[in-house]
Amino acid sequence: MIHVFLLMVYLGTGDSRKLISNDMYFASINDCNYYASQVSKRYGNYRSLDYLHPDDRVTAYCVPKHIKDGSVKVY
C-alpha cells in the first residue's frame, strides 16, 4: 500500500455542483496542487469572477489516499 494524492475537480456551485474528475493520482502533493491550480483557472473576456456564471465555476483540490501499489496510474 502507498500514500498518494487524488485530484478532485468539481464544476458549478451549490445544488448544481458536479464532480467531473476523480481519477488523477499524484505521488507528490506539490504536483497535485499545481494541477489543481491550473485546471481551476479561467480565461475569457470578463474582468471579474462576478461575471462568471456559477455553473462554470471550478473547484479543485487534492485529498490523500491510501491505495494498493500498482492499482492505478500515479503521476
Residue 74 lies in a domain: no
Residue 72 lies in a domain: no
The tens digit of pLDDT for each residue in 51-75 reads 778 888 899 999 999 999 999 999 9
Q: Please give the residue range of the domain that contains residue 12.
A: 2-67
Take residue 68 and report the three cell numbers written for it.
494498493
56: exposed, middle or buried (C-beta count within 10 Å: 0-12, 13-18, 19+)? exposed
The answer to whether 52 and 4 have CB atoms below 8 angstroms apart is no
H or E stretch at 47? none
pLDDT band, residue 5 (cuts 50/70/90): very high
Beta bridge partners of 8: 61
Number of domains in the chain: 1
- Entry pTM: 0.85
Backbone phi and psi for residue 33, each to the nearest 5 degrees, phi listed first: -65, -35
